[in-house]
Structure 1
């Protein structure tokens, strides 16, 4: 009888903890109204030109940290291309940031062979990844609103239908 009672107490505590975590998660989502600004960064693009976080204001932007050696990154790239192509005419931008350990020649080859239609940057020093929350895992993707605030962070492949819904909501907002 005591064993069942202890087991029941453990289940109850586990359930209470799960409910508490769910509440924290829900509050975290509700807290998105106070969005953090995207870090001020300068991106060196494959063609040698530069883009800054300030250049992205006024557009909804997907900033994707990736690597050519990352299986999930390679798998999700066609969906990122399709997302860019679907929304680019509406003020949507995509910036793919190759991690510092990714050889530039591999990034260039990948970009050309896959005909990536958006901006691709090299983070040779790792400074950009550090500025964006010390990104270590790839893919890590940020969705930034027109005001330059981070709306969502994805670690791993995003749920693309849900991402598209969020992009459409952000594109509909006034600057």
Structure 2
């Protein structure tokens, strides 16, 4: 075969490679994990149901009063919630099962946390969200109920705010 008769090979390989990359990106986006459908019990005795969160952008933050990173990030979480709540953001701070309920209640009251605070008394919420063990772990859930982002440790707040702004628009 002469070089001129093989000239079509490189463009075809390039097109196949581009298609594969595009399909891979599509598959990654379309296969986002659906957030677990579970109810939380708030420290005020309120049941937070999957139905009450449907169609909303939701942040679920697993934390503990004994976690120094959690305590350090909490004022930034409050600022984030206050910035986006008017656009429809819901926020559930889920205290880990090992966190004494009276510590959680005291922390939430003395810091006047403006969002819902729930207790994961039996660890079932942490388990449902992929066996969360490290705190803080924060999930951003889109209006479609799928997980947009999972943050282990303190989030990059400018990037988080950008994600929330984009998600709340759509």
Deviation of 1:28 (Å): 7.8
Deviations 1:68-116 (A, max 9, x none): 0000000000000000000001011110000000000000000001100
Query: How many angstroms apart in 1 are the aligned matches of 2:45 and 2:91?
Result: 17
Runs of 4+ in 1 over 4 A off after TM superposition: 27-30
Query: How many angstroms apart in 1 are the aligned matches of 2:110 and 2:34?
Result: 34
Q: TM-score, normalised by structure 2?
A: 0.83
Deviations 1:11-47 (A, max 9, x none): xxxxxxxxxxxxxxxx689813422111011101001
Match of 2:149 among 123, 143, 152: 152
Match of 2:57 among 50, 55, 60: 60
Q: TM-score, normalised by structure 1?
A: 0.81
Equivalence for 1:76? 73
Residue segments in structure 2 that go unaligned for 5+ positions in a row:
1-23
Query: How many angstroms apart in 1 are the aligned matches of 2:25 and 2:139?
Result: 16
Equivalence for 2:118? 121
Q: Which aligned pairs between 1:42-53 and structure 2 lie closer than 5 A?
A: 42-53=39-50
CA RMSD of aligned residues (A): 1.5
Query: How many angstroms apart in 2 are the aligned matches of 1:28 and 1:65?
Result: 29
Query: How many angstroms apart in 1 are the aligned matches of 2:52 and 2:102?
Result: 26
Aligned partners of 1:63 and 1:94 also within 8 Å: yes
Asked if 1:93 corresponds to 2:95, the answer is no
Q: Which has the larger radius of gyration?
A: 2
Residue segments in structure 1 that go unaligned for 5+ positions in a row:
1-26
Between the two proteins, the alignment pairs up a number of residues equal to 147
Match of 1:142 among 131, 136, 139: 139
Query: How many angstroms apart in 1 are the aligned matches of 2:25 and 2:136?
Result: 22
